[in-house]
Amino acid sequence: MARKVVITGLGATTPIGGDVPTMWKNALKGVSGAHTLEDDWVAKYELPVHFAARASNPATEVLSRVEAKRMDPSTQFAVVASREAWADAGITEIDHDRLAVAFATGIGGVWTLLDAWDTLREKGPRRVLPMTVPMLMPNGPAAAVSLDLGARAGAHTPVSACASGTEAVHMGLDLIRSGKADVVVCGGAEAAIHPMPIAAFASMQALSRRNDDPEHASRPYDLGRDGFVMGEGAGALVLEAEEHALARGARIYAELAGTSVTADAYHITAPDPEGLGATRALKAAMFDGRIQPEDVVHVNAHATSTPVGDKPEYAALKAALGKQLDSVAVSATKSQMGHLLGASGAVEAVLTVMAIYDRKAPVTINLENQDPEIPLDVVTSARELPSGSIAALSNSFGFGGHNAVIAVRSI
């Protein structure tokens, strides 16, 4: 019998709240974190998209100036979220050789990389900062969290585009089940609201162009959806072997029952139109967690608000849950905070855990004309979840055909 893994700490810094209590309050209310960008580079480079969902609180509210200077913004977010999660877990004594980190990013230190390139071209090699490499490397967030918490059982960085954050939770479960660690701080971070990634995502027609109305631009499942909204931030969870948590009398939010990762092997960016890879991931996560379709009452969907992306996820949910899908409260939280790319799965894992713990499903905003081809029961005002033993799923899919699913069960 596999070791049971529970969630004992949560942290987040997002466009709708700089910590978990604020984010959760807003997620139940239904707010938008998307706003017009005031940066001069929007006009300078004539970007076709003028808005994004910035983190609501700057990392420097938590980090000192000197700490922040040595970290790319993505790493800053990772440290902010993981410190909150660690404090929330309340672990006072730990064998640091049994504490691991699995912290993902989709893109890595893109601000650092491109700033250094500008410096090289404008001022020459002497002015390229010596901290450039450790700041731009994609393992920067995992390394910084490991250093911050003294985690010595490995610091890992799954990279699978927009599935990265969920894959980090999957990796965390594996590390504890396989006996390599007793406690894992897992999560994902992203800070890519920079003109180059905006231009690149816009070039592939992935971003909403609703420049005159940013707050209504992210509208998963709505017929008027025209692309995702860039977000930024981080989410972090403390996973703990159940016996470790019980021994110290920890507050337990929920059980991380099962996880899975699959690959479409279909197309580098387009999702399999029948959602076959996503279906296999959903079924595998449920099998891994010994979860039957009738146990599932809530899904935090990937639902990015792109015209092509939202449909195959419905097909996959239908295939995995069958008739039960009619009784599942589906939340598309990217409607509120945009798409946090490699951080999205981690933040949505936090939201899914809170939904199970608080027994409330968060709100999907901007759903005015639901796409008739996606007849899901979408939560548009905060909804109570049933009492008794319940389970929830959170999906993430990434460019490259990555599918990752986690299954969370009430305790």
**Residue 411 touches other proteins, criterion: CB under 8 A:** no
Q: Tell me how far, at minimum, the Cβ of 97 lies from other proteins, in Å.
A: 25
Which residue of 25, 127, 251, 290 would you call a contact of other proteins, by CB under 8 A? Answer: 127
**Residue 122 touches other proteins, criterion: CB under 8 A:** no
Q: In whole angstroms, what is the distance from residue 250 CA to residue 7 CA? A: 10
Whether the Cβ atoms of residue 47 and residue 331 lie closer than 8 Å to each other: no
Which residue of 40, 126, 323, 372 would you call a contact of other proteins, by CB under 8 A? Answer: 126
**Residue 121 touches other proteins, criterion: CB under 8 A:** no
Q: In whole angstroms, what is the distance from residue 80 CA to residue 148 CA? A: 10
* Tokens, residue 71: 């970290």
φ, ψ (nearest 5 deg) of residue 398: -130, 155
Closest to 160 in 3D by CA, of 111, 226, 107? 107
First to last CA, the chain: 18
Whether the Cβ atoms of residue 258 and residue 200 lie closer than 8 Å to each other: no
**Residue 66 touches other proteins, criterion: CB under 8 A:** yes
The residue among 132 and 300 lying less far from other proteins, judged by its C-beta, is 132
Q: In whole angstroms, what is the distance from residue 319 CA to residue 321 CA? A: 6
Looking at the DSSP bridge assignments, the partners of residue 233 are 190
Which residue of 65, 93, 249, 268 would you call a contact of other proteins, by CB under 8 A? Answer: 65
Q: In whole angstroms, what is the distance from residue 69 CA to residue 13 CA? A: 19
The residue among 127 and 251 lying less far from other proteins, judged by its C-beta, is 127
**Residue 64 touches other proteins, criterion: CB under 8 A:** yes
Q: Tell me how far, at minimum, the Cβ of 131 lies from other proteins, in Å.
A: 6
Whether the Cβ atoms of residue 389 and residue 289 lie closer than 8 Å to each other: no
Q: In whole angstroms, what is the distance from residue 27 CA to residue 383 CA? A: 11
The residue among 131 and 223 lying less far from other proteins, judged by its C-beta, is 131
| Stretch of 49-57, 125-133, 140-148, 341-349 contacting other proteins, by CB under 8 A | 125-133
**Residue 199 touches other proteins, criterion: CB under 8 A:** no
Active site (annotated) includes residue 170? no
| Stretch of 91-99, 121-129, 172-180, 260-268 contacting other proteins, by CB under 8 A | 121-129
**Residue 387 touches other proteins, criterion: CB under 8 A:** no
The residue among 131 and 252 lying less far from other proteins, judged by its C-beta, is 131
The residue among 29 and 70 lying less far from other proteins, judged by its C-beta, is 70
The residue among 66 and 268 lying less far from other proteins, judged by its C-beta, is 66
Active site (annotated) includes residue 162? yes
Candidate list 162, 170, 186, 402, residue with the active-site label? 162
**Residue 129 touches other proteins, criterion: CB under 8 A:** yes
Active site (annotated) includes residue 216? no
Q: Tell me how far, at minimum, the Cβ of 130 lies from other proteins, in Å.
A: 4
Candidate list 156, 170, 244, 302, residue with the active-site label? 302
**Residue 69 touches other proteins, criterion: CB under 8 A:** yes
* Tokens, residue 375: 């007849």
The residue among 130 and 372 lying less far from other proteins, judged by its C-beta, is 130
Which residue of 131, 196, 252, 263 would you call a contact of other proteins, by CB under 8 A? Answer: 131
φ, ψ (nearest 5 deg) of residue 385: -100, 155
Binding site residues, other proteins, CB under 8 A: 64-66, 69, 126-127, 129-131, 134
Residues annotated as catalytic (active site), given as ranges: 162, 302, 339
